[in-house]
């Protein structure tokens, strides 16, 4: 690697985070730490029915007996669960505001700054947004229009009140609270997140989207999202996230459950841009997320697309349980790590039904001193006749202090199943850089172009409105202060 | 104006001397061919002109359009009109030629303080140039050089040249790996592009290429130096009796 390349890469490594500002707002939060008291406090704040509180407390008891999973390729000090605030809401949020006139202008300004306008006249065309600030949902746009089609799109706290039968039936049905410590923890203390129900044979006409913002210091965010696509329906959902720049680590442990019934399709996209920590690896979000989709019905389809650029630690495996015959699971991922970021991410495809198919395309890009691991588990159960999986994992190393790892597990109990696995690791190529620069492009433009080309297969899976944004985000993750 | 003047240039790579007091002058509108056996330093010359940082320039001078070329980096040289048609154009998966070349031409326009081209007018320009060279729209949709045959890659280089309109083009063994048909198509492209304002340096091992392009000067290079210069008859002589007489 020549000097100029090293210089450019160092410049990239000094990435500046654009969303690191703090909103000065008075927050309402209980004492630090976790006990039954706090759970009762959260439940009471949300005015929850008894069954919900009982569920939370059961999950808490499970959590107490569990320890955090240790198998990931991640290094970080043990999390002190008593040193975190479990609830934080802007003051005056005992009841969700009916409309924006009741919302503190500082909050609206925050979302404007993040590029997510909430005012009706400015909302993103064709995208309905649920904005979650720390532990509460601030506003949900386009709600009325969606209601006309019978679509329910609201915060999960609201759904507990308005659609208890659906919540009771499906909450924890895809991710059992006892699955691992983070799912038990989330189930005990979850605060807000989105709830979506698409009725039979309805194609949701717009993108549904949740924007998560962590603002308060030393506060964990435990969001819970539940999406149910009834028979023959379709929905595309997008999630975005940012947090202020702080030198302490913050915990984000979300649970997302998707359920697709017969012939239904759910497309779930994430653009994750939590604060990644500074150049020395100080601060940043610990992102321990459990996302799982159940293709419950025949011919159903769940597709995960993720662009992971932020967080100091990413521990995340959006998975599909392919239970219905002929169901399809897909996972498209771009994970970029820079400085001292660590990512251990991938997917799990569990083939249960006959003729089920899954596809995994993973692109990992490592820069600076970061470590980037793909971890995948593809399994075929006994009855998964004639099922197929195709996996492609590509890693790109930029510089010589970073690492890329690929850990695929494949298990088959059915001898008619077909598995294909392709993997490649490459360094950013001096010859490609030379070629681009000989055509007049600067070093930075060349790297950005090559990386974007490397990710294209995944980026093109994103909804149109966000593909361009994601492309820019990829460039920014590389470019540092430019732009 | 001095168009291109290479004066007593000494270049080494990892301590090994490749160009030895090398001298060459090229004027506007001229076509020069450099022939030589393997290891004579031909490709080094091409890469040093383009600014490749793997080579160490120990002494000497290169003046291009009255500017000290050695003080400029790769992209700055490209922006003032130097184009290198590569011997082995590299594949760039996932990157389409349209945004790539648009960024490329705009870097040049920006350098000249001219207004940059928007996507629409650039796409029009690219389509026109491609049509001139018999390159179909399907080929424009593919990733740069990815999965291309040797001939396709070279045609892509010619297309890029004609879009960027450089004043000085270096062909680094453009004929290598081409069959006669591909060679004819590529050289037709070059001939179409040639005019009084642009100059060419054609580096080749064989005389074959020079059957299609008529150079003003032919130079024979060996051990990092030009040993003899002349006209096309020199190439004919090499074809007959090889390099042993030099």
The C-alpha atoms of residue A412 and residue B1 are separated, in whole angstroms, by 74
Residue A295 clears pLDDT 90, i.e. is over it: yes
Question: What's the rounded mean pLDDT across residues B6-27?
Answer: 94
> Quick one: pLDDT at residue A92?
65
Specify whether the CB–CB gap between B41 and B221 falls below 8 A.
yes
Between A221 and B126, the higher pLDDT residue: B126
Residue A16 clears pLDDT 70, i.e. is over it: no
Residue B107 domain-assigned (yes or no)? yes
Counting Cβ atoms within 10 Å, is residue B186 exposed (0-12), middle (13-18) or buried (19+)?
buried
> Quick one: pLDDT at residue A355?
97
Specify whether the CB–CB gap between A383 and A353 falls below 8 A.
yes
What is the pLDDT confidence band of residue A1, given thresholds at 50, 70 and 90?
A: very low
CB atoms A452 and B73 under 8 Å: no
Between B27 and A133, the higher pLDDT residue: B27
Nearest Cβ partner for A441 among B50, B94, B103: B103
Residue A472 clears pLDDT 90, i.e. is over it: no
A452 touches chain B (CB under 8 A): yes
Residue A56 clears pLDDT 70, i.e. is over it: yes
Highest mean pLDDT among A127-141, A466-480, B80-94: B80-94
Highest mean pLDDT among A256-265, B10-19, B111-120: A256-265
Question: What's the rounded mean pLDDT across residues A125-152?
Answer: 74
The C-alpha atoms of residue A425 and residue A429 are separated, in whole angstroms, by 12
Can you give the length of chain B in residues? 246
Between B80 and A113, the higher pLDDT residue: B80
> Quick one: pLDDT at residue A476?
66
The half-sphere exposure of A391 on its side-chain side, counting CA atoms within 13 A, is 23
Contacts of A3 in chain B (CB under 8 A): 53
Question: What's the rounded mean pLDDT across residues A194-223?
Answer: 83
Highest mean pLDDT among A37-41, A252-256, B11-15, B44-48: B44-48
Strand (E) or helix (H) holding A255? strand A255-260
For A455, other C-beta atoms within 10 Å of its C-beta total: 26
Nearest Cβ partner for B75 among A3, A442, A457: A442
Distance from B225 to chain A by nearest Cα, in Å? 25
Residue B208 clears pLDDT 50, i.e. is over it: yes
Nearest Cβ partner for B78 among A429, A432, A437: A437
> Quick one: pLDDT at residue A220?
76
For A283-331, the DSSP string reads SEEEEEEEEEEEE-STT-EEEEEEEE---SEEEE--EEEE-STT-EEEE
Question: Which tokens hold the place of A236?
Answer: 């595309």
Which residues between 104 and 123 in chain B have a beta carbon less than 8 angstroms from any beta carbon of chain A?
104-105, 107-108, 111
The C-alpha atoms of residue B31 and residue B217 are separated, in whole angstroms, by 7
Residue B246 domain-assigned (yes or no)? no
Between A283 and A154, the higher pLDDT residue: A154
> Quick one: pLDDT at residue A115?
67
Contacts of A449 in chain B (CB under 8 A): 92, 95, 99-100, 103
CB atoms A435 and B104 under 8 Å: no
Least confident of A144-158, A342-356, A450-464: A450-464
Residue A482 clears pLDDT 90, i.e. is over it: no
Q: B165: domain range? A: 4-241
Least confident of A5-14, A177-186, A265-274, B53-62: A5-14
Residue A214 clears pLDDT 70, i.e. is over it: no
Distance from B53 to chain A by nearest Cα, in Å? 7
- Segments of A296-417 assigned E as strands: 301-308, 313-316, 319-322, 328-337, 342-351, 357-366, 371-380, 388-397, 403-412
Which residues between 379 and 438 in chain A have a beta carbon less than 8 angstroms from any beta carbon of chain B?
429, 431-432, 434-438
> Quick one: pLDDT at residue A310?
80
> Quick one: pLDDT at residue A74?
82
The half-sphere exposure of A32 on its side-chain side, counting CA atoms within 13 A, is 9
> Quick one: pLDDT at residue B190?
83
Residues 6+ apart with CB under 8 A from A150: A199, A202
User: Which ipTM was obtained for this model?
Assistant: 0.95
Into how many domains does chain B fold? 1
Question: What's the rounded mean pLDDT across residues B114-141?
Answer: 90
Residue B98 clears pLDDT 50, i.e. is over it: yes
First CA to last CA distance, chain B = 33
Residue A483 clears pLDDT 50, i.e. is over it: no
Of B168, B139, B158, nearest to B4 by C-alpha is B168
pLDDT tens digit sequence for A23-38 = 766 667 778 888 888 8
B50 touches chain A (CB under 8 A): yes
B165 touches chain A (CB under 8 A): no
Least confident of A98-102, A232-236, A313-317: A98-102
- For residue B158, the domain's CATH number is 3.40.50.300
- Segments of B75-212 assigned E as strands: 82-85, 92-96, 143-144, 168-172, 199-204
Residue B35 domain-assigned (yes or no)? yes
- Phi-psi category of residue B15: left, alpha or beta, with phi > 0 → left and psi -120 to 50 → alpha: left
Least confident of A135-144, A370-379, A398-407, A439-448: A135-144
What is the pLDDT confidence band of residue B57, given thresholds at 50, 70 and 90?
A: very high
Least confident of A2-11, A58-67, B28-37, B48-57: A2-11
> Quick one: pLDDT at residue A248?
67
Counting Cβ atoms within 10 Å, is residue A44 exposed (0-12), middle (13-18) or buried (19+)?
exposed
pLDDT tens digit sequence for A67-125 = 888 888 888 888 888 888 888 877 766 666 666 676 777 777 777 766 666 665 555 55
Residue B36 clears pLDDT 50, i.e. is over it: yes
Between A464 and A297, the higher pLDDT residue: A297
What is the pLDDT confidence band of residue A376, given thresholds at 50, 70 and 90?
A: very high
Residues 6+ apart with CB under 8 A from B240: none
DSSP A29: -
Between A470 and B216, the higher pLDDT residue: B216
A361 touches chain B (CB under 8 A): no
- Percent of chain A beyond pLDDT 70? 81
Radius of gyration for the alpha carbons in chain B, expressed in angstroms and rounded: 18
The C-alpha atoms of residue B79 and residue B108 are separated, in whole angstroms, by 5
Of A206, A100, A194, A235, nearest to A146 by C-alpha is A206
B98 touches chain A (CB under 8 A): no
> Quick one: pLDDT at residue A481?
24
């Amino acid at each position: 690697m020549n000097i100029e390349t090293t210089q450019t890469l160092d410049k990239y490594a000094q990435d500046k985070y654009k969303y690191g500002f703090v909103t000065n707002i008075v927050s309402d939060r209980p004492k630090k730490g976790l006990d039954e008291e706090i759970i009762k406090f959260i439940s009471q704040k949300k005015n929850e029915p008894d069954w919900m509180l009982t569920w939370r407390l059961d999950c808490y008891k499970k959590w107490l007996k569990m320890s955090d999973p240790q198998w990931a390729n991640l290094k970080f000090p043990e999390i002190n669960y008593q040193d975190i605030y479990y609830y934080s809401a802007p003051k005056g949020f005992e009841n969700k505001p009916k409309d924006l006139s009741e919302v503190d202008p500082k909050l609206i300004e925050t979302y404007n700054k993040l590029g997510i306008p909430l005012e009706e006249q400015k909302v993103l065309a064709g995208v309905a947004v649920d904005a979650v600030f720390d532990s509460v949902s601030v506003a949900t746009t386009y709600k009325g229009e969606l209601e006309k089609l019978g679509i329910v799109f609201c915060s999960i706290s609201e759904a507990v009140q308005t659609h208890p039968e659906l919540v009771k039936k499906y909450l924890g049905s895809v991710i059992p609270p006892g699955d691992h410590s983070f799912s038990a923890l989330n189930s005990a203390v979850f605060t807000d997140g989105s709830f979506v129900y698409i009725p039979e044979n309805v194609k949701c006409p717009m993108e549904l989207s949740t924007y998560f913002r962590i603002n308060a210091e030393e506060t964990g965010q435990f969001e819970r999202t539940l999406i149910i696509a009834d028979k023959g329906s379709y929905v595309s959902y997008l999630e975005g996230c940012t947090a202020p720049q702080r030198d302490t680590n913050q915990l984000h442990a979300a649970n997302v459950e998707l359920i697709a019934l017969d012939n239904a399709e759910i497309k779930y996209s994430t653009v994750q841009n939590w604060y990644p920590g500074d150049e020395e690896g100080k601060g940043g979000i610990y992102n321990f997320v459990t996302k799982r989709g159940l293709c419950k019905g025949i011919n159903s389809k769940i597709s995960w697309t993720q662009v992971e650029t932020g967080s100091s630690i990413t521990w995340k495996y959006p998975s599909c349980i392919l239970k219905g015959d002929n169901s399809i699971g897909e996972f498209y991922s771009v994970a970029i790590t820079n400085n001292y970021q660590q990512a251990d991410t991938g997917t799990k495809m569990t083939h249960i039904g006959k003729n089920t198919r899954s596809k995994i395309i993973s692109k990992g890009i490592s820069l600076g001193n970061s470590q980037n691991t793909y971890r995948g588990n593809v399994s075929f159960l006994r009855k998964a006749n004639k099922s197929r999986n195709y996996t492609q994992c590509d890693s790109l190393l930029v510089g010589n202090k970073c690492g890329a790892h690929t850990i695929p597990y494949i298990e088959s109990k059915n001898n008619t199943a077909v598995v294909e696995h392709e993997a490649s690791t490459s360094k950013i190529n001096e010859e490609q850089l030379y070629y681009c620069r000989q055509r007049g492009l600067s070093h930075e433009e060349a790297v950005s172009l090559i990386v974007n080309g490397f990710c294209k297969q995944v980026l093109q899976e994103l909804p149109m409105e966000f593909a361009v944004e994601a492309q820019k985000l990829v460039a920014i993750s590389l470019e540092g202060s430019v732009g | 104006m001095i168009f291109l003047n290479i004066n007593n240039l000494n270049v080494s790579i990892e301590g090994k001397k490749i160009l030895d007091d090398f001298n060459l002058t090229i004027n506007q509108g001229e076509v020069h061919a450099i022939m030589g056996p393997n290891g004579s330093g031909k490709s080094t010359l091409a890469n040093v002109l383009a600014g490749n940082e793997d080579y160490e320039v120990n002494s000497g001078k290169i003046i291009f359009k009255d500017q000290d070329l050695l003080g400029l980096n790769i992209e700055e040289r490209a922006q003032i009109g130097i184009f290198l048609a590569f011997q082995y154009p590299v594949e760039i998966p996932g990157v389409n030629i349209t945004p790539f070349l648009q960024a490329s031409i705009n870097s040049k326009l920006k350098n000249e303080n001219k207004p940059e081209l928007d996507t629409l007018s650039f796409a029009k320009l690219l389509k026109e140039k491609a049509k001139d060279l018999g390159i179909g729209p399907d080929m424009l949709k593919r990733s740069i050089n990815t999965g291309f045959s040797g001939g396709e890659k070279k045609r892509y280089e010619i297309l890029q040249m004609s879009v960027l309109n450089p004043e000085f083009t270096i062909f680094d063994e453009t004929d290598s790996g081409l069959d006669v048909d591909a060679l004819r198509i590529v050289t037709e492209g070059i001939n179409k592009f040639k005019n009084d304002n642009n100059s060419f340096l054609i580096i080749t091992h064989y005389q074959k290429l020079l059957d299609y392009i008529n150079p003003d000067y032919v130079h024979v290079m060996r051990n990092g130096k030009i040993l003899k210069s002349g006209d096309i008859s020199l190439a004919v002589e090499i074809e007959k009796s090889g390099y042993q007489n030099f």
